[in-house]
Amino acid sequence: LGGGGSSISGAIKGGALAMLAGVAYKALTNAGQGAEGAPAGGEAPVFTGGAVPVGMKGAANPAEAQVLEQTAELVIKGMMNVAKSDGQVSADEIQGIIGKLKEAGMDGDMETWIMAELRKPIDLDAFAAEIPNKEVAAQIYAASLLAVEVDTPQEKAYLNDLAKKTGIDGAVALEIQRTIGVTV
């Protein structure tokens, strides 16, 4: 992304990625699923950080740092996609996304990249193919609910399609919606 890796992690640093990881953890755990789906034999769910998603704890090694970086990039793309889903990105939606990212430490290069990405059409199939597992999908779904006021049929349809194409089942989606306080 514009500005390199530190721009992405800087844009979602602080508690934002940890909060999203916590929402994903709660929803997936309550549904008995981890990063790779439901565990066999009633075992505890497995996440990228072992017992918890990497975002809920700091990166312990370069591989986990890369996972955090990739997750942050996908979360930002997800926020932009939901904003574009109704065919127009309102000034309020742009300010909401950029405002949240600026609060988290986004720099000017990142803002330029975001504005360019907002002009691109949505390719949900390609985006879903980038998402490595249900854990990241749940974080993206949660961030998408937070990014805009879900008030159009297109936004609702996009969120439902995002859930389907990324393997988020109904129980997980409902748990995320309850946690965020948004109904789709």
| pLDDT computed for residue 11 by the predictor | 47
d(CA 167, CA 96): 27
d(CA 21, CA 25): 6
| pLDDT computed for residue 173 by the predictor | 95
The pTM for the full model equals 0.81
Burial label, 60 (beta-carbon count in 10 A; 0-12, 13-18, 19+): exposed
pLDDT in tens, 88-142: 887 887 777 777 777 766 666 777 888 888 888 999 999 999 999 999 999 999 9
Q: Is the predicted pLDDT of residue 42 greater than 80, yes or no? A: no
- pLDDT-derived band at 65 (thresholds 50, 70, 90) equals confident
